[in-house]
Amino acid sequence: MKKVLIADDHQIFLAGLRMIFADSKDFFIAKEVNNGQEVLDAFKKEIFDFAILDINMPIFNGIVIGKKLAEKYPSCKVIFLTMYSDVKFVNEFARSNAFGYVLKNAGKSELLQALQCAEKGEKYISNELQYTPDKLDLDSSKYQTLTKREMEIIGLLAKGKSSQQIAEDLCLSVFTVNTHRKNILHKLNLKNAAGIVKFALENNMI
């Protein structure tokens, strides 16, 4: 069984995670901690296969800790388990070496699925951030309707750039960039920038 470290400062939530892992034959909770510093202290004594981190926790947040673990303990696969669906944090995940981004309202099966994907070296993003009826792929007719410029803008949005920054990079007006963004959302049946980031990740565009 694979060893899992859980980092969250809410005791009721930790109790719920214990119940999720109680019946698992593949993963078990080897350590529970409440803040970023305790994560680092725990890894000095023992290496874990997975670290499930809340983004908003004391001392060091999950994003910072995830980066530190990736640098010092690359064999450990990081999963963010958070209430944040904001594109800012999804972008941080996309740029990191973490393997999973799961929202706290996800079910047991989704969290375990994220761990299974990570074990295979695949990235997983919560279903809550998937706004299309079906997963899109490189052969999708919707994907093929994107113009070269729209593909370029998707890649830049997924890297966390604002419309203003994209306009400067591509020598376009902000109005033109925003028009492209609206067209992208319409063509891919997405609701917001978080959906664009997920699309870019699933299609290896970043």
CATH number for position 15: 3.40.50.2300
Pairwise pLDDT comparison (92 vs 79), residue with the higher score: 79
Residues 179-204 have a mean pLDDT of 82
- Identify the pLDDT of residue 86: 73
Quickly state the pLDDT bin for 204 (edges 50, 70, 90): low
Question: Does residue 60 form part of some domain?
Answer: yes
For residue 68, give the amino acid letter: K
- Domain coverage including residue 172: 141-202
Last residue of a domain, one of 128, 156, 182: 128
- Identify the pLDDT of residue 144: 59
Q: How many CA atoms lie within 13 A of 140 on its CB side?
A: 17
Last residue of a domain, one of 90, 106, 128: 128
- Identify the pLDDT of residue 135: 39
Please give the full DSSP string across 113-170, using - where no structure is assigned. Answer: HHHHHHHTT--EE-GGG--SSS---TT-HHHHT--HHHHHHHHHHHTT--HHHHHHHH
Give 72's contacts (C-beta < 8 A, 6+ positions apart): 43
Instruction: Name the residue among 109, 96, 100 with its Cα closest to residue 69.
Output: 96
Same domain, 81 and 173: no
Distance of CA 47 to the CA centre of its chain: 22
d(CA 45, CA 48): 10
- Identify the pLDDT of residue 143: 55
pTM over 0.85: no
pLDDT at 150 over 90: no
Instruction: Name the residue among 122, 116, 93, 151 with its Cα closest to residue 27.
Output: 116
d(CA 99, CA 76): 10
pLDDT at 15 over 90: no
Cβ 106 vs Cβ 78: under 8 Å: no
Across the chain, what does the average pLDDT equal?
83
Residues 159-187 have a mean pLDDT of 88
Tell me the per-residue pLDDT of 83-140, one tens digit each, with 9 for 90 and over: 887 777 877 787 778 888 988 887 788 888 899 989 988 888 887 665 333 333 434 4
Measured in degrees and rounded to the nearest 5, phi and psi for residue 153 equal -70, -35
If you search the block for the tokens 């925003």, which residue do you land on? 178
- Identify the pLDDT of residue 139: 40
Residues 46-56 have a mean pLDDT of 92
- Identify the pLDDT of residue 138: 38
CATH number, residue 192: 1.10.10.10
